[in-house]
Every structure is written in C-alpha cells, then in structure tokens.
Structure 1
Amino acid sequence: MEQIFLSEIRIEKVRHLQKITIDISNEKPMHLILTGKNGSGKTSVLEAISKYFDYIMTVNDFENVPAGTVVWKDEFDDDCKIVDGINLTFNRSQKELEETLRKGLFIVAYYKDKRTFQAEPPVHVEKIKLKDQYKITENPGRLFIKYLLDLKVTEALARNNGNFEKADRIKTWFTDFEGLLQRIFEDLSLQLIFEEDTFSFFIREKDRELFDFYSLSSGFAAILDIVLDLMLRMEAHLNRTFDFTMPGIVLIDEIETHLHIHMQRSILDLLTTIFPNVQFVITTHSPYILNSVDHCVVYDLEKNIRIENMSGYPAEGIVEGYFESESYSKTLMDKVKRYKVLIDIAQPTEKERIERANLRMELKQISGDLAREAKDAFEDIERSRGGTW
C-alpha cells in the first residue's frame, strides 16, 4: 500500500491563528518545520495535531463525540476532519488511515520540549510484552532498559536450550544497536557493555570511564528519549530485525532543546535515516535545523511564509536574511557573560545589584529565533542558581 502522509494542514482556529492553510505536498511525504517567534503558536499547532490522532485512536463511535469537538465532512469524498480547530488532509482516505493506525502499522508520537531519558531501571528480570499499537500520549520508551535486559536473558536461555537461531538473531540485534549508538555518539570505538553480576548496561567510549544510560549529557538524553521510544513503538512488528522502516508521523516540539550547534546540524538527518518512512513535523528556532535536510517545508507562523528546501542556504544567511538580524548572538552572549560575572559576586554593590537586575530582565526576553545559544546559556545560568539572589 502507498505510504500514508500528511499533505495539508488547515488551521480554522488555534489560539490566535485563524484561517491558515499550510500546503506540505500532495505528491510525496515531506517533513514540516514550523518556526516563528515565541508566542506565534507553534506548540499549540502541535498540540492540536496530537489531539487529532488521539481522537482517531481512542474514539470508536464518532457519532457519540460531543458536538463541536469533531466535525466530519462527507466521508466518501473528503479526506478531512476537523478536531479542536485544525483540519488535516492526507494522501489516503480517512478510513485507510484509521484502519492502519488501529492495526499498529502506522506510528504516531509526540515529543514535547522537556525531554530527558525516562527509562525505568529494572529491579529484576521481567518479561516485557510490547504492544502492537501505542497511543500518541503513551511512553513505551520508559521500558527500554527493561527490554534490553529481557532480550539479553532471552538470548542466554535460547542458546542454553539449543535454539541457536533465536539466540543469534538477538545477538545480531545487540550488534546493530551498538552500531546505532556509535552513530549517535559519533564514536566507532563505542561499546555496549553488559555486566552479568549486576544485570546492568554501560557504554564505553575511548578515553572515558564506563557510564550508564542514566548518566548521559542532556543532549544525548534528549536524542535517545526520541530514538528509543520510536524503536519500541515499532519493535513488536519487526521480529527483532532492527529494520525501523515502518511509516508514521512524529511531532517534536523545539527539536533543538539541549542540543549544541553540532547536534542541531545533524539531529534531523539522524532521525530521518534511522526512521526513513516517518514524516516529521517539528518546531524550531534554530537556523541549523532549518537548513539541515532536504525534503522539508518550512512554515513561519508569525509571518505566514512558506519556504521549501532551505538546505542550500548557509545558517548565517538564514539568520541575517530570514530572521532579519545582522548579528546572531554576539552582543547578547557578551551580556550573558557579564550577567554570570555579576551573579558570582558574593557581596555586590548597589550599582551591581541594579545592573544585574536590569540584565536579568533583558535576558529573560531573548528570542530563541535570533539567539538560541544566548538564550540557552542564560537559562543554564538561571537553572544553576535556582532563581535565588
């Protein structure tokens, strides 16, 4: 069957956004990047899309849905449905989409901007039963470490019982997973280590001590939160083949969260390579995301501008032209550094207190559209000081 993909979004009314049509593509699946300043409605649009899929997957009898929540047009000749002010059009019929979703053959997931590694640590070995289908609001990724342990024990038992085909298939799965980690960490020497005495998994990198999945930096934790969750959403259908080619639509809010510039440049390419048939709908402030891959439509919700394929534009050109800024963040970064100096003064003078307060008020208003690095640096300072004087 032809891959199902989102071809158009019509915003009837989502917060202040009204009567906006976002054309993606009728011919082939293309990723959608929503941008615009803070408050432009990016997250609200993702929330509305999420609710749309939630309704499809949880409501069996649409006749019983309260009036005003879901509005059907002619189901035989219109592939549209309005949910909470948003109208989505796909390249296939609504009925095909529903059936594919309910069979678990089409993945939908929504990752909000606060992303951390959330997997539950195993207390003992337990058999993990993965579902054929997960709702968009579920979080199967929390089972990932438990699933790894289940696989490792199953491999040992299968080999002990002479079921070498099953054991070898699981061994190959672990080899492929190690290769995936090598790509994410950009370290071909990386090894996934299993300690039999503690039933624990560790990562070994060159010139580093062993560390576990709970000791990841915020950037790698944010990436693995998405990757491992998507893997488990597909895993029940794959018979441990490590072939994550199932189709789907994945929503990610502020994809650049916790990622330094190098990761911002590579994250979308990484995700689209691991999950080649997933259509990503993301929000971002980062020019390094906007120009990172082909086959993307960029839509600015603030200016109502549609741009297709910004991969040929340099990041500095995007900032200076698209964001209309001559300097990305140098001036603001200087102010952030000055703010850090001031808050580290144990007994500031009255003049220093006033300067610090004024800087704090100004830096709180930084727009991530124009100065993501400065905004992140300021927020890191604020988190470290706990909001105290």
Structure 2
Amino acid sequence: MKLKHLTLENFRACDHLDLEIGSRLTVLLGNNGSGKTSVLDGIAIGLGAVLTHLPSVSGITFKENGDIRQFNNVAAPYVRVALTTAEGLAWDRIKRRDKSKATAKATPSPLGLKSLEAYLDEAVIDKMNSGEQYQLTMMAYYGVSRAVLQVPLRRKGFPKSHTRLEALKQALEAQSSFKSAFIWFYNKENEENRLQRERRSFDVTLKELDAVRTAIGSVFPDISHPHIEVNPLRLAVTINGETLDLMQLSDGYKTLLGLVIDLSMRMGLANPHLDNPLTAEAIVMIDEVDLHLHPSWQQRVLADLLRTFPNTQFIMTTHSPFVVETLNNHLKRHKLGPGSTGDKDIDGLLPLSLNDVRAYRMENSEKYPLIDDETGLVDNTLLPHFNQINRLYDRMRDLEWNQKDD
C-alpha cells in the first residue's frame, strides 16, 4: 500500500487542501504555523482507520477538541480527511460539529471505510487467521518529540514474546517512544544468544536483528555493534573503537539513530519472513527531518533513508535549505541515466525520478508546488525564501565597499 492523494477539509487552520503524494518522497517546506505538521497529522488520522480495524492495535482519530476548523469564532460543520492509494483504494473519516440536522445537511456524504476494511480483511486478517503468508505494510509517524528517547531503567515487566501486529502499536502517534524498540531488541538479542549457544556458532544470527544492524550501518557508517548491556541497562554502540551508551551521544545522533532503530525494528517485526525486512512496503512520516542534524548530515539524510528503506514512502517536513536543495542533485542524477559518469561524487548519488517525488511550500495551510514542470527540478522560487540573510550580507558588503571608495 502506498498513498497517492490526500484531501483535508476544515482541518484545523485548513479550509480545503488537495495534495498529491509522491510514491517515494514528499517534502513539505514552510515557516512555523504554515500547516506542514497538520498535513502529517491528517495523514496519520486517515491511516488510523487501518490500525483500528486490525486486531490487537488501535489507531488515532480526531481529537475531541481542536481539529474542526474555526472561523470568526464559529466551528465548521465538519472535519474530513480522505486518502487514496496508488491502487485506487479510497476512504475517508469525518467528524461532525454536533448532531443537529443542519450540521448533518452541511456535511458531505462520506466515502466511509467499507472498501478499506474489505481490503484489510482479504490482504491481512483472513490470511493471518488461516495461517497463510502475508505482507504487512508498515506505517509510522515520527514527530519532533522523537529527540526525547525513553529507555527503560530496569527489565521488570518486559514481555517475553512479540506478535507481528505489535509493529504497528502506537506507530502513528507522533510522540513516539523508543521503549518498545529497546525491549524488542533486548528480547531478540537474548533469543539470538540462545541459538548461538545451542548451535555452538557465533555466525548464527536473526534476520530481524540483522535488519536493524544493516540499517544502522547504512545510515551511520561509523557506528557498529549495537547491543544491550544490563549493568546498567542500556543500549550501547561502538564509535571509532569506543563503546558508548546511546544516551551519551549528541542530539543529532540520538534523534536520527533512534528513528532508524525504531523503524527497522518495526519492519523486522512486521515481516520477519522476508529475507530482508527493510525492503517491505512502508509509509513513514517525519516531522522536521533535519531536527538537530549538522548541515553535512542534512545534505545526505534523504539519500540515506531512501537507500536504506528502498520501498518506503517518505512524507516529511523540513526547514532546511540543505535538505530541499539536495533534492535537486538526486533528481538531476536520474536524468543522467544509470551508467557511470566517471565522477565518483556523482556516481554515488541516489537517482530519484520526478514521477516518484513531490515537493511543496506550505503557506497559510495552502500548497505551492516547488518542482518546475519544464526542468523537473526544484525551481528558483526557493531562492528568495532562503536568501534573505545573503541579501542583507550583500547590502552591508556594498556599503563597506562604498565607504572604502569614498
């Protein structure tokens, strides 16, 4: 499952928004309060219907207060989120202002959830109940609170086993917790250690843990040997030959590493039957993907995530010019074709097809496409947005030169 289109009606500050979603990447740029996060929240509410229909997990829905748009201190009759997938599956969720006849009359006829639930029954639930093989599409939402990692201080109360659907537990809550990933890693590492003792070989590994290790190594080439230590209880990694507690790392490391571990853990848990669970389909939303990252990391975070999770659809917001302008390099690389150019830096770039990417500037909950139809690149409308500081510098430089000339 991959998303193709989002519609928001009367959602928070948004009157009406239709947004086409890229099959691999959608980037939303804008100032604070422009509506970027509301788009992610709306998608999460729409996808919440998926989790709610599946057994043992529950998805988010509209808040009791605050999601219905207000204008001139009057609430709109309804709020609506509608999603359409690339396969043509469509559904919506509607919350009315009240139960009056006037409100009901002002509310459009819903698509409802019938087609979505029928799809989930056939693709997941019926196969799960009959013991057939099935692939579970992962969904996850990482808000800005991901910078605050929650690591348990003791092992008391740890569950001993995990089910596939646990991969979706609290997956769409932007206030993501690292605790579940930590517990899963702890249990899987113990399972792997038991297998190694039984077979008397350290070469025995679990595919799910290998997926996490692979993901970490792909995004962080300088990090190796992620493992749990118990005295004290902590997740440790090796950087430049030194073993460090995850909580000792910088905010940039913690923020991105926590996301990579959590996502790869969920993908391994969701589809353990795959040779490489990281290749499963997933829909992942990331608010402020540049959060706490050094500019050099901001320039490669898109490629690192897309390369590590090759069938994941990423929908992300950013304030960073490095993230957005780097997108042009990936789009341009695709135009050069798959062959070698003889330039090491260019050949190392991940090609991104224009058909797979969408980029928008958000302002007052309205979208403005950033990719020029003729060039297939992010156009120069970004330059005024990013270059105010540079223009001020140029004006001061001109004044300085004029003073010298005088």
TM-score, length-scaled by structure 2: 0.62
Q: Which residue of 2 aligns with 1:352?
A: none
The match for 2:42 is 48
Letter paired with 1:147:
W
d(CA) in 1 for partners of 2:120, 2:197: 43
Residue 257 of structure 1: aligned partner: 291
- Corresponding residue of 1:350: none
Given the superposition, is the C-alpha separation of residues 240 and 219 from structure 1 closer, same or farther in structure 2, using an over 3 Å criterion? Answer: farther
| Equivalent position amino acid for 1:220 in 2 | Y
Mark the CA change 1:328 to 1:241 in structure 2 (over 3 Å): closer, same or farther.
Answer: farther
d(CA) in 2 for partners of 1:269, 1:313: 16
Deviates more, 1:173-182 or 1:219-228: 173-182
- 8 A contact 1:80–1:94 mirrored in 2: yes
What's 1:153 paired with?
Answer: 190
Residue-by-residue CA offset, 1:101-120 (whole Å, 9 max, x unaligned): 76671111111122225242
Matched AA of 1:18: D
Q: Which string of whole-angstrom CA distances, capped at 9 and with x for unpartnered residues, describes residues 298-332 of structure 1? A: 122216321348998699x67424x263535986x
Following the alignment from structure 2 to structure 1, what is the Cα–Cα distance between the partners of residues 357 and 227?
38
Distance 1:19 1:124 in 2: 48
Cα offset for 1:217? 1.0
Tell me the residue number matched to 2:32: 38
Tell me which residue corresponds to 2:18. 21
Against the structure 1 CA distance between its residues 130 and 216, is the aligned structure 2 distance closer, same or farther, given a 3 Å change threshold? farther
The answer to whether the 8 A contact 1:300-1:306 is kept is: yes
User: Cα distance, 1:223 vs. partner?
Assistant: 0.8
**RMSD across aligned C-alpha pairs, in angstroms?**
4.3
The question of whether the paired residues in 2 share the 8 Å contact of 1:253 and 1:282 is answered with: yes
Matched to 1:55, the amino acid is A
1:244 is aligned to 278
User: Does the 8 Å contact 2:160/2:187 carry over to 1?
Assistant: yes
State the Cα distance separating 1:168 from its structure 2 match.
Answer: 0.7
CA contact (8 A) 2:295 2:322 kept: yes
* SS at structure 1 position matched to 2:279: coil
- What residue number does 2:147 align with? 116
Mapped to 1, the partners of 2:218 and 2:291 lie a distance apart of: 20
Q: Partner residue of 2:162?
A: 130
CA displacement, residues 155-203 of structure 1 (integer Å, 9 cap, x when unaligned): 33223334869x7133x76566445433333327x44466687675532
Number of matched pairs? 310
The alpha-carbon deviation at position 224 of structure 1 amounts to 2.1
Task: Please say if residues 212 and 264 of structure 2, whose CA atoms lie closer than 8 Å, have aligned partners that are also in contact.
Answer: no
Distance, in Å, in 2 between the alignment partners of 1:183 and 1:211 is 19
Letter of the 1:51 partner, please give it: I
Q: What is the one-letter code of the residue matched to 1:94?
A: L
Conserved? CA contact 1:35–1:285, under 8 Å:
yes
Conservation of the 8 A alpha-carbon contact between 1:10 and 1:87: no
Question: 1:184-223 to 2 correspondence within 5 Å?
Answer: 184-187=219-222, 190-192=224-226, 201-206=235-240, 209-223=242-256
Structure 1 CA distance for aligned equivalents of residues 212 and 110 of structure 2: 35
Distance 2:27 2:231 in 1: 46
CA offsets, 1:3-62, max 9 Å, x none? x2111122222233223322236xxx23211222221111122212212222342268xx
Q: Give the deviation of 1:234 after TM superposition.
A: 2.1
Displacement of 1:279 in angstroms is: 1.0
Q: Counterpart of 2:204 in 1: which secondary structure?
A: helix
CA deviation after TM superposition for structure 1 residue 264, in Å: 1.2
Name the residue aligned to 1:337.
Answer: none
Alignment partners' CA distance in 2, 1:195 and 1:15: 45
> Residues 193, 283 of structure 1: CA spacing in aligned structure 2 closer, same or farther, 3 A cutoff?
closer
Amino acid at match of 1:185: F
The one of 289, 298, 304 equivalent to 2:367 is 304
Are 1:277 and 2:338 matched, yes or no? no
Q: How far apart, CA to CA, are the structure 2 residues paired with 1:175 and 1:41?
A: 38
Give how far 1:261 is off: 1.0
Is residue 141–residue 232 contact of structure 1 (8 Å, CA) maintained in 2? no
CA 1:252–1:52: 2 relative to 1, 3 Å: same
Asked if structure 1 preserves the Cα contact closer than 8 Å seen for 2:139 and 2:283, the reply is: yes
Distance 2:124 2:147 in 1: 27
Closer/same/farther in 2, CA of residues 128 and 228 from structure 1, 3 Å limit: farther
Provide the residue aligned with 1:325 in structure 2.
387
Question: Matched residue of 1:202: which SS?
Answer: strand
Residue type of the alignment partner of 1:272: L
Contact 1:119 1:144 in 2 (8 A): no
Letter in 1 for 2:261: L
**Distance in 1 between the 2:371 and 2:109 partners?**
21
Quote the Cα distance in structure 1 between the aligned partners of 2:296 and 2:110: 34
Which whole-Å deviations, capped at 9, do the CAs of 1:346-385 have from their partners, x for residues lacking one? xxxxxxxxxxxxxxxxxxxxxxxxxxxxxxxxxxxxxxxx
